[in-house]
Amino acid sequence: MGLEEYKGVYIYAQQVDNELSAIAFELIGKAKELAADLNTDVTAVLLGSNVKALADELGEYGADKVIVVDNPALETYRTEPYAQALVSVIEEYKPEILLVGATAIGRDLGPTVSARVATGLTADCTKLEIGDFPLVAVPGKEDEQKHNQLLMTRPAFGGNTIATIACPDNRPQMATVRPGVMQKLPREAGRKAEVIEFNPALEENNRYVEILNVVKAVGNVENIMDAKVLVSGGRGVGSEENFAMLKDLAACFDGGMVSCSRAVVENGWLPADYQVGQTGKTVRPQIYFAVGISGAIQHVAGMEESDLIIAINKDEDAPIFDVADYGLVGDLNKIIPQLTEALKAAKTE
């Protein structure tokens, strides 16, 4: 079949416990831009059990169409029935682009589906745009250059290099995108998407697994990706107890939270939910304090999009200063409490 038969920008609208994940809206936001360049529309693919009601929300965030596969087998995420359902959607509707969140679900579903439909998949993209491949035509072979291709840019080598990747000869062009990297559009109340109900037969086979238990993390874990201000601590903070100082500083700001580097999680000072970076979360708060964080490239990859970065470190050669807007060389044990006091005083003025 010709590649030109594949049309439209599709996103996988992840839901968990029948609640849409933020990544679904973020992907729609990016998909709208790509669709505008391609003069096509955006379709969200919604898989689950009793999930049809979620289609309205996808419409309000910009989806033009929503394909719903509603099946009791899709109640809780399992690779096999979800992959079967998404492959069926691809085979029936033939999207030219399919974006999936780089979540614990998407990083399992994406590669499984791409391998089944024998196409390429580019992981953890930080930039997506429409362009030519090759970027510059080879002289004498101008007619071999392909236009309107999805160009997918991603970090590799632990964030040390950046590669732009295309998938010129296979469809759909598939990419996963990390949560927090793309921006969702403002919600437009009452905006409607065309809802298409699609019911492919899901066949139970040897690849079905049995879920014995679902164990949710206890307590109400605050999500550092929602923070407006993050006070992030690294190895230099020195101990679990010293994080109290960072919490006090965070409390001076509305929407302030504490986060950390990988070393802190490895030392057991904070749980992994608070980790920023390549193996943690990608954050883009209005203010990011990097306190006692040296600035390993894997950490920087998760926070460099923050609006304002303030680094506090006693080592004036720490690489974190290379990405900081304001760098304070000095003892965090003295600077942090004094800064907290100054902010409190400023509030009462």
Cα gap 55→64, rounded to integer Å: 10
Q: Binding to another protein (CB under 8 A): which residues in 153-172?
A: 155-170
CB of 289 to another protein, least distance (A): 10
- According to CB under 8 A, which one of 72, 255, 271, 330 is a site residue for another protein? 330
31-39, 67-75, 76-84, 185-193 -> range binding another protein (CB under 8 A): 76-84
Name the one residue in this structure whose structure tokens are 């609208």. Answer: 13
Cα gap 124→119, rounded to integer Å: 17
Q: Is 3 in the site for another protein (CB under 8 A)?
A: no
Strand partners, 128: 152
- According to CB under 8 A, which one of 120, 127, 196, 200 is a site residue for another protein? 120
Residues 6+ apart with CB under 8 A from 171: 3, 6, 94, 95, 96, 119
Q: Is 115 in the site for another protein (CB under 8 A)?
A: yes
User: Using alpha carbons only, what angle is made at residue 149 by residues 144 and 154, rounded to the nearest 5 degrees?
Assistant: 120
Q: Is 145 in the site for another protein (CB under 8 A)?
A: no
Strand partners, 230: 257, 288
33-41, 91-99, 108-116, 238-246 -> range binding another protein (CB under 8 A): 108-116
Q: Is 217 in the site for another protein (CB under 8 A)?
A: yes
3-11, 182-190, 234-242, 339-347 -> range binding another protein (CB under 8 A): 339-347
The amino acid at residue 323 is V
- According to CB under 8 A, which one of 75, 145, 208, 235 is a site residue for another protein? 208
CB of 201 to another protein, least distance (A): 19
Q: Is 230 in the site for another protein (CB under 8 A)?
A: no
Strand partners, 232: 259, 290
Sign of CA dihedral 213, 276, 285, 64: negative
Name the one residue in this structure whose structure tokens are 């203010």. Answer: 287
Cα gap 59→187, rounded to integer Å: 9
CB of 139 to another protein, least distance (A): 17
277 closest CA partner among 240, 323, 315, 333: 323
38-46, 184-192, 216-224, 241-249 -> range binding another protein (CB under 8 A): 216-224
Q: Which two tokens stand for residue 281?
A: 């979360």
Residues 6+ apart with CB under 8 A from 137: 144, 145
Instruction: Tell me the three state secondary structure of residue 63.
Output: coil
CB of 178 to another protein, least distance (A): 10
44-52, 62-70, 189-197, 212-220 -> range binding another protein (CB under 8 A): 212-220
- According to CB under 8 A, which one of 105, 249, 258, 283 is a site residue for another protein? 105
229 closest CA partner among 338, 297, 303: 303
Nearer to another protein, 137 or 195 (CB): 137
Cα gap 280→261, rounded to integer Å: 8
CB of 108 to another protein, least distance (A): 4
CB of 64 to another protein, least distance (A): 27
Q: Is 183 in the site for another protein (CB under 8 A)?
A: no
Contact code string over 24-63 relative to another protein, x by CB under 8 A: ----------------------------------------
- Count of residues touching another protein (by CB under 8 A): 87
